[in-house]
Amino acid sequence: SGNAASAIAELQSAIQLAPNEPGFHQELAQAYKLARQPAEAAKELKVYDDLQKKRQPVADSTSKEDKNP
């Protein structure tokens, strides 16, 4: 769990720099699972899911706008 603790610290730092990056929250959830912190893992998975839901429509509309000059 020493590796998990180190990963948790690094991912928390990454999230401070890019809080809306879903991948960081997903990886942090996995690190919490490895560290046997299921409540924290569940919180991060919820953040990940919420960000994915928000990101999908925005990505679709942005890509359409980018194609039109």
Query: For the segment 5-56, what is each residue's pLDDT rounded down to a tens digit?
Result: 999 999 999 999 999 999 999 999 999 999 999 999 999 999 999 999 987 7
Whole-angstrom distance, CA of residue 6 vs CA of residue 34: 11
CB distance 15 to 25 below 8 Å:
yes
Q: Is the pTM of this model over 0.85?
A: no
Helix (H, G, I), strand (E, B) or coil at 19: coil
Whole-angstrom distance, CA of residue 65 vs CA of residue 46: 29
What is Dmax (Cα atoms) for the chain? Answer: 52
CB distance 46 to 66 below 8 Å:
no
